[in-house]
Structure 1
Amino acid sequence: MPEVIFAGPEGRLEGRYHPQKDRDAPIAIVLHPHPSYGGTMNNKVVYNLHYAFYRLGFTVLRFNFRGVGRSQGEYDQGIGELSDAASALDYLQSMNQNAKHCWVAGFSFGAWIGMQLLMRRPEITGFISVAPPANMYDFSFLAPCPSSGLIINGTADRVATPKDTVNLVNKLHEQKGITITHTQIEGADHFFKDEEAHMIPMIDTVSTYVKRRLTEASR
């Protein structure tokens, strides 16, 4: 999987780009957790989401936000990171101009950024939000949420509390024209640390959901 460097708003951004042979393949970007708390594109959840999309036939890009790894710039409270995500999507689209479907997936802080990107980019047809920190960040910008997607979290998450995630899901359920699917992984913490009991079921849930959406879109 080639390392890539592409232009961001504050200089170069470092990514991992995994193309399909099919030029019409759908595309996805995967966004990592909080840069100030050790979040990088090599986070285990992000890595597993990346490969889940690739195995489903997507051309996938994950990257480091500004100030992380070899990406230039400094942490910018989510404002600059949203611009980074937009630049990453621009880069991915420029390389895959025939893609009919575009997805965004994010974990924790990355889920918050991903949902904001969703509001800005009408071409995004689906999203995966893993452990969105609805107790730390304001998600009220999702009014209305423009696309259907999956929100998934662990019942033992002490970082992004399940109660706040459920409240977010309930608000989104009230909106017409979209379907929010919500799944909780029993006993999982914020990082889905237990591979067999939590990480694998979480990734299987994501894969099943995305596969179903692609099948429905092709009918």
Structure 2
Amino acid sequence: MNLPAFPDDSATLSLPGPAGALEVAVDYPEAPARPAIAIVCHPLSTDGGSMHNKVVTMTARALRESGITTVRFNFRGVGASEGSFDEGEGESEDLRAVAAWVRAQRPDAALWLAGFSFGAYVTIRNAALLQPAMLISIAPPAAGRKWDFSTISLPDCPWLVVQGEADEIVEPQAVYDWVEKVAQQREAPELVRMPDTSHFFHRRLIDLRGAVRNGIKPYLPPESMPA
């Protein structure tokens, strides 16, 4: 299987995936580049989630402003990505395929993972396997029976969790309780609670941008030296 090269400039490309082609967008940082690449995963496909979701694009923007190259992609069945929704199982395969491509093409760059809502679930459930250098979880759907967080193996990397206190889809207290349980098994994730903030961060996207930038600051690798 011939895999595309990692682009030298921002570009959208097609990557062979487990269920067919995956639509992938690579964007380079506005700030001086750092040797890290963050994969940012989108919310639930069946509810209209895609890599163009505003929370996803704002998170990616905050990362690029901090010097991190970002990779967004559409899960199977979304946009130009082939296949159909697979309840998180196939989407996990998609993430692992994209991560393998990033690591093969840019072996000297640290891999970061970020996800919003369903995308947070997918990144969390694969983080122990993929061993990212940083994990960012925005409004992770830790409540209810739909997505089972109880059996997920936890990573040991630095971890930022951002949760809106007025989230109408993900129960905020369930997220706080889950973070407390995580803290009993590993170093506690940094939890940022955003007051008066809905699930999709309406009118609070700029605040989300600041929360991500501030939260990752202690973990940023040094800027790359110019060639």
- TM-score, normalized by the shorter chain, greater than 0.5: yes
Q: Distance in 1 between matches of 2:173 and 2:120?
A: 17
Q: Which runs of 5+ in 2 are unaligned?
A: 1-9, 223-227
Shifted more, 41-50 versus 24-33: the winner is 24-33
Give the counterpart of 1:185 among 180, 194, 207: 194
SS of the residue corresponding to residue 29 of structure 1 reads: strand
Aligned twin of 1:206: 212
Give the counterpart of 2:140 among 127, 132, 140: 132
Structure 2 counterparts to residues 142-157 of structure 1, below 5 A: 142-157=152-167
SS of the residue corresponding to residue 51 of structure 1 reads: helix
Matched, 1:50 2:56: no
Shift of 1:143: 4.2
Structure whose residues are more often helix by fraction = 1
Q: Distance in 1 between matches of 2:191 and 2:108?
A: 31
Q: Distance in 1 between matches of 2:217 and 2:118?
A: 25
Aligned twin of 2:27: 18
Percent of paired sites with the same residue = 33
Shift of 1:95: 2.3
What TM-score does the superposition give when structure 1 sets the normalisation length?
A: 0.90
Shift of 1:147: 2.1
Q: Distance in 2 between matches of 1:96 and 1:37?
A: 33
Shift of 1:141: 2.9
Higher relative contact order (CA 8 A, sep 6+): 2
SS of the residue corresponding to residue 220 of structure 2 reads: helix
SS of the residue corresponding to residue 127 of structure 1 reads: strand
Q: Is the 8 Å Cα contact of residues 154 and 184 (structure 1) preserved in structure 2?
A: yes
Amino acid at match of 2:214: T
How large is the RMSD of aligned CA atoms in angstroms? 1.9
Matched, 1:89 2:95: no
Aligned twin of 1:62: 72
What TM-score does the superposition give when structure 2 sets the normalisation length?
A: 0.87
Aligned twin of 2:87: 77
Q: Is the 8 Å Cα contact of residues 145 and 175 (structure 1) preserved in structure 2?
A: no
Shift of 1:119: 1.8
Amino acid at match of 1:125: A
Q: Is the 8 Å Cα contact of residues 145 and 172 (structure 1) preserved in structure 2?
A: no
Q: Is the 8 Å Cα contact of residues 13 and 64 (structure 1) preserved in structure 2?
A: yes
Aligned twin of 1:107: 116
Shifted more, 151-160 versus 207-216: the winner is 207-216
Q: Distance in 2 between matches of 1:16 and 1:34?
A: 18
Shift of 1:211: 1.5
Deviation track 1:101-149 (CA, whole Å, cap 9, x = no partner) reads 2210000000000101202112x11111000011142112344443220
CA separation of 1:36 and 1:109: change in aligned 2, threshold 3 A: same
SS of the residue corresponding to residue 107 of structure 2 reads: coil
Shift of 1:200: 1.2
Q: Distance in 2 between matches of 1:117 and 1:110?
A: 11
